[in-house]
Chain A
């Protein structure tokens, strides 16, 4: 009898404690600033729903059942852009076959992208003899809505093709031809029917729809209404991904929040930021840009801090792979945004794979690979005192 009472009491007590504090017994969430995932603030309910649908589609895994391949590089967007962050050498892809602005001469031989994996029973592609190639490590996909809402006019204003200011840094846009399904921005600026590309390592994609459609097709072998040709057979297929899904994914890309800077009041970090400006890193990695009008209210007319000018720069012979896209030269690369840099290892398996092909295994190595237009800046970095270098890197990690 006594036990019955104790037993009931104990069980009652445990249940009481646990039920009044369920949340306390489960792991807490990492703070928002440590995560790349999540929407920009200020979305409407309907926009949040579309964001969630896009998130799901971004992580949808393709298999033989729903259209993967037969040739492919990876089986979901999320496999390459894990946690919306940078990728790993496992998912680094290879492009080949173009050396100048006359276009890709290996389109008929599997170009521009090497599908290095294949479903059982199929043989993956190989780089054809005589084609130069370059490797591309997946970049983070955060804050892209802001970048897509910058006006062409602003991008052109950062450009200095003849280096009139004499700082050794020119910066040019990649003037590209756009596919017929793309509707250009209302105030797009053209140059002999070519438009300003802004996404991709060579800035060869006009907007997020362009990049997404190509990703489905070239990275996963998924045809869509926009790009109905199968990478293996070259034949036109029924869409393997619904058009609405593509719009959802594009919306998701547009509304992923920008990385939130950390340790903003740290003295060393503040000094690092000054050094970043002093040694002209900021000439290419522009700290602040502004969006134009955007139909997504939350993105309209906003100042933001991506650390890129969206322009191509000649980075010198060491970074010249002899391959290019659009009107870019082989040594030219689009300045990558540096926001979220400190969080890169969280999606790269606890390590860094920086620069276009992931060759730099630390931030310092990345800086040391800079050449061409960035030579001055790199030399200034090398002449810094050790503690100043550390402050600079601390600043970069806080982004």
Chain B
């Protein structure tokens, strides 16, 4: 009997993994009646341009272009040898619409369905008014320009299935808020400079009161009133400057700060104003004759946590990741002229609580590091089929022996 379940499990596992491969191979370009607007893959774009720089489809003479992407995968995960078996995950389906309302007036929106229909988010719905290339007004629901991943997070752009931990849990990508501000760009020879500065609504008290039992800016996004009012009654500032050299690469520095707690209600003071801030540095470059890409970011978080509150909620966090990726094969495969096979490695680290215990002077741990080798196949630039192995170690608050997790993932992501 046991042998049957054993064989069955193996066959199931095998079919599962081949499913995505076949699926991907049989896809064909069916869209011909519509006009495709391709993304600009030249090296003259900044992360901040990612919003508009996506493949769109414009239909007939309609003034609107639509696009989107989908991400799905299967995974087998085990933590310290305990596995709940296989899962299929429909991570997200994102739709975007862009339109040029009139000269120098643009509108863009992005709608995301996460984990099936568990979460539906408006990630972006903002209008851009260009006064001068150096001065554009943006207003609406906009992406806070903190780090590089937040601005440039579309699944098909990445050769790894999971988003980096530091980019989702230290920097709470994807983070968008309602507000307004300015952005602009300046070109000079091989150089591009860009800036962005916005005021938006911010986080709420859940960043230090949540079931993760740790400081988490990501938890501070759950407030459904976030798009209607600011929890603290004060705006949050996000600013970024970025510079790119077409030969060298891009470097971005960004900072976000705001008061998160409800310190005043109905004119009565409840608490002191407590702020949450992030500083991030992001970069991307191609080395060795542009054969190997390096993409990464690091971020540091400061949260004003009351002294009399639990030390499980840290006042400082730090994290970062680096992706190293290179194509090992670039030639037509099965009729795809620009097919590529890439291999890569992601290294990532996140320390959710940087500090020392008052009681022992010992180091507070609560950190995780991960290593993710990947093999990906891109039949076309906008579609990626990814095979990842993910290994991570989580060390709890007290620094007990780590919990080790291994995850095998196969999935795809594609613009459509």
- The one of A28, A90, A124 that contacts B398, using a Cβ cutoff of 8 Å: A90
In the bound complex, what is the Cα–Cα distance between A68 and B312 (angstroms)? 14
Q: By the criterion CB–CB under 8 Å, are B404 and A27 in contact?
A: yes
**In the complex the two chains form, what is the Cα distance from A30 to B270 in whole Å?**
48
Given A90-B398, A346-B401, A350-B399: A63 and B308 within 8 A (CB)?
no
Per-residue A-contact encoding for B325-343, CB less than 8 Å = 1, 0 else: 0000101011000000100
Chain A residues lying within 8 Å of B405, measured Cβ to Cβ, are: 26-27
Contact with B along A309-342 (1 / 0, CB 8 A): 0000000000000000000000000000000000
What 0/1 readout, one digit per residue, does chain B (257-286) give for beta carbons within 8 Å of chain A?
A: 000010000000011001000000000000
- In the bound complex, what is the Cα–Cα distance between A258 and B223 (angstroms)? 43
Q: Are B14 and A19 in contact (CB under 8 A)?
A: yes
CB-based contact A89/B396 at 8 Å: no
Contact A14 B387 (CB under 8 A): yes
Q: Assuming the A-B contacts A19-B14, A350-B400, are A26 and B406 also in contact, with contact meaning beta carbons closer than 8 angstroms in the complex?
A: yes
CB-nearest residue of chain B to A66: B211
Known: A90-B398, A121-B270. A20 touches B10 (CB 8 A): yes
Which residue on B lies nearest to A71, using beta carbons? Answer: B308
Contact with A along B58-100 (1 / 0, CB 8 A): 0000000000000000001111111100000000000000000
B76 near A26: Cβ-Cβ < 8 Å: yes
Question: Which of these, B333, B389, B400, contacts A83 with CB under 8 Å?
Answer: B400
User: Is B357 within 8 A of A346, CB to CB?
Assistant: no
- Complex contacts, B331 vs chain A, CB 8 Å: 3
A13-57 interface (Cβ within 8 A of B): 14-16, 18-20, 22-23, 25-30
- Known contacts A14-B387, A64-B205, A347-B398; is-contact A28 B311 (Cβ 8 Å): no
> Is B16 interfacial (CB-CB < 8 Å)?
yes
In the complex, what distance in Å separates the CA atom of A216 from the CA atom of B270? 27
The answer to whether A120 and B208 touch across the interface, beta carbons within 8 angstroms, is yes
Other-chain contact of A19, B16, B79, B80, B270 (Cβ < 8 Å): B16
Of the stretches A74-82, A182-190, A272-280, the one at the interface is A74-82
For B76, the chain A residues whose CB sits under 8 A away are 22, 26
Q: Which of B81, B206, B312 contacts A79 (CB 8 A)?
A: B312
- For A348, the chain B residues whose CB sits under 8 A away are 398, 400
- Expressed in whole angstroms, the Cα–Cα distance for A40 and B177 within the complex equals 50
Size of the chain B interface, CB-CB below 8 angstroms = 60
Interface assignment of A123: CB less than 8 Å from any CB of chain B: yes
**Residue of A15, A26, A82 touching B400 (CB-CB under 8 A):** A82
Inter-subunit contact A347/B400 (CB<8 Å): yes
Residue numbers in B under 8 Å from A16 (CB-CB): 14
Known: A11-B21, A79-B312, A89-B357. A64 touches B209 (CB 8 A): yes
Q: Across the two chains, which residue of chain A brings its CB closest to B359?
A: A89
Are B308 and A123 neighbours in the complex by a CB distance under 8 Å? yes
Give every chain B residue within 8 A of A15 (Cβ-Cβ). 14, 17-18, 21, 387, 410
CB pair A63–B209 under 8 Å, yes or no, is yes
Known: A63-B210, A346-B401. A124 touches B308 (CB 8 A): yes
Cα(A22)–Cα(B408), bound, Å = 7
Within 8 A of A (CB), among B116-155: none
Tell whether, in the assembled complex, residue A23 and residue B205 are in contact, meaning their CB atoms are under 8 Å apart.
no
B387 to chain A: which residues have CB within 8 Å? Answer: 14-15
Given A22-B13, A75-B213, A90-B398, CB of A29 within 8 Å of CB of B80: yes
Tell me how far the C-beta of B128 lies from the nearest C-beta in chain A, rounded to whole angstroms.
38
Interface flags for B398-416 (1: CB within 8 Å of A; 0: not) read 1111001111101000000
Number of interface residues of A (CB under 8 A): 49
A347 to B365, CA, bound (A): 13
B309 at the interface (CB under 8 A from A): yes
Residues of A near B407 (CB, < 8 A) are: 26
User: Taking each of A3, A29, A68, A123, which has the highest tally of chain B beta carbons within 10 Å of its own beta carbon?
Assistant: A29
CA distance in complex: A61, B210 (Å) = 8
One digit per residue, 1 when the CB lies within 8 angstroms of any chain B CB and 0 when it does not, for chain A 70-111 equals 001011100100110000111010000000000000000000
CA of A68 to CA of B213 in the docked complex: distance in angstroms? 12
Which residues of A130-149 are within 8 A (CB) of B? none
What are the residues of chain B within 8 A of A347 when measuring CB–CB? 398, 400
- Residues from 349 to 365 in B contacting A, C-beta threshold 8 Å: 357, 359-360, 362, 365
C-alpha spacing A79/B10, complex, angstroms: 39
Task: Say yes or no for B35: interface residue by CB 8 A criterion.
Answer: no
User: Which single residue of chain A is at the shortest CB-CB distance from B341?
Assistant: A7
Contact of B299 with A by CB under 8 A: no
B78 adjacent to A4 (CB under 8 Å): no
A260 at the interface (CB under 8 A from B): no
Chain B 367-406 against A: per-residue CB contact (8 Å), 1 yes, 0 no? 0000000010100000000010101000011111100111
Residues on B with C-beta less than 8 A from A89 are 357, 359-360
User: For the complex, is A157 an interface residue (Cβ under 8 Å from B)?
Assistant: no
Chain A residues closer than 8 Å to B389, beta-carbon distance = 25
Q: Which residues of the other chain, A, contact B17 by a CB distance below 8 angstroms?
A: 15, 18-19
Q: List 8 A-B contacts (CB under 8 A).
A: A4-B333, A20-B14, A27-B404, A27-B406, A28-B81, A82-B396, A90-B311, A120-B309
Known contacts A89-B360, A348-B400; 9 further A-B pairs (Cβ under 8 A): A11-B377, A19-B10, A20-B10, A27-B405, A63-B206, A82-B396, A82-B400, A118-B308, A349-B398
Minimum-distance CB pairs A-B, first 7: A29-B81, A26-B406, A349-B398, A26-B78, A89-B359, A27-B404, A19-B14
